[in-house]
Amino acid sequence: MRSLHAWLLGLGLMCVLGCGAGKSKDGKQKVVKLSATGSSFVLRLMQVWAVKAEPTGVRVDYISTGSTKGILDMLNRETDFGCTDAPLSAEQMEKAGGKDKVLHIPLAMGAVVAVYNLPELGEKGLQLNGNVLADIYLGTIKNWNDPAIASLNPGLKLPNLPITVCRRSDGSGTTFIFTSYLAGNSPAFKEKVGSGTQPNWPSGVGQGGLKNDGVAALVEGTPGAIGYVELTYALDKKKLRTAKLQSADGNEFVEPTIESVTAAAAGLQVPDNLVFDLVNGKGKGVYPACGTVWAVTRTDTPKAEGIRKFLTWALSKEGQALAAPEHYAPLPEPLASKAVQALEKLAGK
């Protein structure tokens, strides 16, 4: 009996160990690995999503390279998808094989903020508008106590200090949103610089920083500097303050918050291709320099099932609930549902 009991116990232990090992092995086999590069705008949220989504059986390796490089990698089939804050250009669409060969899947919304390093202003924040910011980036306004800035900030003692302009040096969706905002407010900026991920900045104006964190660090280390970054990167830097921007209708100065970005999407009419513009939206409490980040992928991608699974999860209530803690605005539910439906266009479904 004792021998039989020992044999049964050993058999049971072998079964437990064997079953456990089998499940672990099967689990590893089912994990889909996805590679993606692109927007530094969405880096924080992608990092959170990559960890939280692993139980669904998808592992995402995301590298912040800037939107332009992210799209290039995807088009060259070096990655499974790219993240961008600027929709594909006509030239990029052509390289992909046409508009029906790629999908733009919106992930979240955010604010591009003007950050400055002027500790002498104290707690009272700076107020700016698109026209004044455009003149600063054109090099027309060169000093902080310029009358144009003073007129927007009555009662604020502005320093007699040169403005150091900071901008992105890499191809950037954040730059696309910011220049779209400036071009929409300043005919001179629209004519001389225009909007884009890699615009032709005026010669001799400004210093370049790599990605959002590079510009934020550049402004933080330069007294009298101004730059533009995604909101999360501004909140990381103790020496930086964010300017309130005048609303598109000119009635108020709006602080960049989750609420003011969400307000920009109120009543949004979204086309079937899911490409839309949040810049210079009108309405009470609407921050004017808002943008969207998209995951862009080929419809014939060999990783269709994994991409569909990951993005469907990211667009779910669980995934979108993780946006606000990282200072992004979640998508309105009807938009998220429309994006999930668009994923049906991926090959193999």
CATH topology agreement for domains 33-108+291-345 and 112-264: yes
In the structure encoding, which two tokens stand for residue 273, read together? 């291709």
Residue position matching structure tokens 């390796």: 61
- The pLDDT score that the predictor gives to residue 92 is 94
Phi and psi (nearest 5°) for 33?
Answer: -100, 125
Q: Which CATH class is domain 33-108+291-345?
A: alpha beta
Question: How is the chain split into domains, by residue range?
Answer: 33-108+291-345, 112-264
Q: How far apart are CA 202 and CA 137, in angstroms?
A: 8
Q: How far apart are CA 40 and CA 38, in angstroms?
A: 7
In the structure encoding, which two tokens stand for residue 239, read together? 């020496």
- The pLDDT score that the predictor gives to residue 348 is 53
Q: How far apart are CA 21 and CA 15, in angstroms?
A: 10
pLDDT block averages, 10 residues each, the chain of length 349: 36 32 45 96 96 95 96 97 95 92 97 95 91 98 98 96 96 95 98 95 93 94 96 84 96 96 90 95 95 96 96 98 95 96 83
Please tell me what DSSP assigns to residue 38.
E
CB half-sphere exposure, 105, CA atoms < 13 A: 29
What is 112-264's CATH superfamily?
Periplasmic binding protein-like II (3.40.190.10)
Residue 210, SS3 per DSSP: coil
- The pLDDT score that the predictor gives to residue 267 is 78
- The pLDDT score that the predictor gives to residue 133 is 98
Q: Choose among 172, 177, 157: nearest CA to 213.
A: 172
Supply the DSSP string of 105-144, one letter for each residue.
Answer: EEEEEEEEEEEE--GGGTTSPPEE-HHHHHHHHHTS--BT
In the structure encoding, which two tokens stand for residue 274, read together? 């899911």
pLDDT, tens only, 156-202? 999 999 999 999 999 999 999 999 999 999 999 999 999 999 999 99
Q: How far apart are CA 133 and CA 112, in angstroms?
A: 13
Which residues contact residue 89 at a Cβ distance below 8 angstroms, ignoring those fewer than 6 apart? none
167's enclosing H/E stretch is strand 164-168
Q: How far apart are CA 178 and CA 198, in angstroms?
A: 11
Phi and psi (nearest 5°) for 18?
Answer: -65, -45
In the structure encoding, which two tokens stand for residue 154, read together? 């009555």
Residue position matching structure tokens 């600027």: 86
Phi and psi (nearest 5°) for 241?
Answer: -120, 155
Neighbour count for residue 259 (Cβ, 10 Å): 14
pTM, full prediction = 0.87
Residue type, 227: G
- The pLDDT score that the predictor gives to residue 44 is 94
